[in-house]
Structure 1
Amino acid sequence: MPSSLKISVIIPVYDEAKTIRSCIANVKECCGENSEIIIVDGSADGSTLSAVDDEGVMCLSSPPGRAVQMNIGAGKTAGDILLFLHADTTLPPKADALVRNALCAPCATAGAFKLGFDTPSRTMKFIAFIADLRCRMERVPYGDQAIFIPKSTFMELGGFPEIPLMEDVELFQSIKKRRLEIVILKESITTSARRYLATGPLRCAFRNTCLRLLHRFGVRAETLVALYRRRKVQS
């Protein structure tokens, strides 16, 4: 895919004032000049946007909800390729070239990076290994893997379904139903393990697996998010 194609990096945030500056610096380093950054804040106080001191970054406010935020950000982009990034996730070097090259593959429609965590914990490495194995078998990556897709394809698919959970899974399932190619890169992003460590790594991984299975059997997203939140409170 030509290097002239612009990459729009969309970062949905909620109370990420502590991480947003390092996230912006990482994107600028790894995506080069032919890219743009759009931050979409779902918190009412706009605390994350207040921490952004870069005039070259587009800052938007949005109702809360990751899918809603990402769709709003996508609608404001000027790029040819959309890359959806979590604020606590770090891209690998030359991420822009990796994304463009991945979408050059015959029939390639969308993709994501391999999952990695910012800790040397053997437990977290095992969780990342299992997650990568599942992803390569199912070809359905999660949002914390820095998913990417041509803007034209994303708009044709109708964007993310605006549901409170599993919006990433449903987007990629719709791509699979069309028998379109999904690329999983061998290069890893590095995402924060803070939520796993706060809940307990194995407990958190088990919870996520259960939610995914319930989703596969048709349980509504609203029910899943209620279970997710209740589990967090109990933890």
Structure 2
Amino acid sequence: MPSKLNISIIIPVFNEQEHIANSISNIKKCCENKCEIIVVDGNINCSTLQEINDSEVIKLHSAKGRASQMNCGAAKASNDSLIFLHADTRLPLNVDKLVHEALSIPTVSAGAFKLSFDSESFVMKFIAYIADMRTRLERVPYGDQAIFVKKDIFLELGGFPQVPLMEDVEFFRKIKKERREIIILDETVKTSARRYLQRGPLRCAVRNICLRILHICGVSTFKLAKMYQSKGR
């Protein structure tokens, strides 16, 4: 295994001032400073970027929307493998080696980690368990699972589609359609439960399941985005 692991970590942000410093600190700890870090702000004021004092972090601005922001970061990335990370998701130790080993398997094109939440609530643990079962069965992970992909495959497939919701789902469905292998690692990432706890865990879980079913049934992502926003993120 080479001493330098060519991985770029891309973080799309919008008003994540309170979490970005901890996110960058976590990445550096888990990658031992071997990863390229790219933060892409969708806020016209670049309020999150203003909170970054680390000169090694690449700071970019793009149009609002996770798909646009992540595609912007990927275009700037200089490494062979990409990790797309939410600002409130924490990576496991040795994440660079884990991703490198996974993507070194010739048949594997992309993957993600097992989901967990920073809450001891039984409900949140149950939601994480159901999410893990769904992901392993369907092989379509969500963005809060720190999804990763080979850069050449990402570019070949055109990156994330410009849709307002479920860009991660659409992208992995495209990978599956190409009959490329998706790996789900046993190591976990820890995502903030704040949005679930603010709006009610069961309410959020049911909403997400309903939106996913409607998406499978062919409902437009633009209609789903309106429903998602009307019920609160």
How far the C-alpha of 1:26 sits from its partner, in A, is 0.6
- Between the two proteins, the alignment pairs up a number of residues equal to 233
Corresponding residue of 1:113: 113
Give the Cα separation in 2 of the matches to 1:65 and 1:134: 25
Does the alignment pair 1:17 with 2:14?
no
- In structure 1, runs of 5+ residues without a counterpart are none
Corresponding residue of 2:39: 39
Does the alignment pair 1:81 with 2:81?
yes
Corresponding residue of 1:163: 163
**What does the per-residue CA deviation read over 1:101-147, in whole Å, with 9 as the maximum and x for residues that have no partner?**
11122401100000000010000000000000000000000000000
Give the Cα separation in 1 of the matches to 2:169 and 2:2: 28
Give the Cα separation in 2 of the matches to 1:91 and 1:163: 26
RMSD of aligned residue pairs (Cα, Å): 1.1
Give the counterpart letter for 2:203 in structure 1: R
Kindly indicate whether the alpha-carbon contact (under 8 Å) linking 1:12 and 1:39 is maintained by their aligned counterparts in 2: yes
Corresponding residue of 1:176: 176
Corresponding residue of 2:93: 93
Within 5 Å, which residues of 2 pair with 1:1-235? 2=2, 4-232=4-232
Give the counterpart letter for 1:183 in structure 2: I
Give the counterpart letter for 1:133 in structure 2: M
Give the Cα separation in 1 of the matches to 2:42 and 2:145: 20
Give the counterpart letter for 1:164 in structure 2: P
Specify whether residues 3 and 202 from structure 1 end up closer, same or farther in structure 2 by C-alpha distance, changes over 3 A only.
Answer: farther
How far the C-alpha of 1:209 sits from its partner, in A, is 0.5
Q: Which moved more, 1:75-84 or 1:103-112?
A: 103-112
Kindly indicate whether the alpha-carbon contact (under 8 Å) linking 2:5 and 2:96 is maintained by their aligned counterparts in 1: no
Kindly indicate whether the alpha-carbon contact (under 8 Å) linking 1:82 and 1:151 is maintained by their aligned counterparts in 2: yes
Give the Cα separation in 1 of the matches to 2:206 and 2:87: 24
Give the Cα separation in 2 of the matches to 1:73 and 1:171: 16
Give the Cα separation in 2 of the matches to 1:71 and 1:164: 14
How far the C-alpha of 1:33 sits from its partner, in A, is 3.2
Kindly indicate whether the alpha-carbon contact (under 8 Å) linking 1:6 and 1:35 is maintained by their aligned counterparts in 2: yes
SS of the aligned residue for 2:48 comes to: helix
Give the Cα separation in 2 of the matches to 1:58 and 1:103: 24
- In structure 2, runs of 5+ residues without a counterpart are none
How far the C-alpha of 1:54 sits from its partner, in A, is 0.3
SS of the aligned residue for 2:179 comes to: coil
How far the C-alpha of 1:179 sits from its partner, in A, is 1.0
How far the C-alpha of 1:3 sits from its partner, in A, is 5.0
TM-score (normalised: structure 1): 0.97
Runs (4+) off by over 4 Å: none
How far the C-alpha of 1:232 sits from its partner, in A, is 1.4
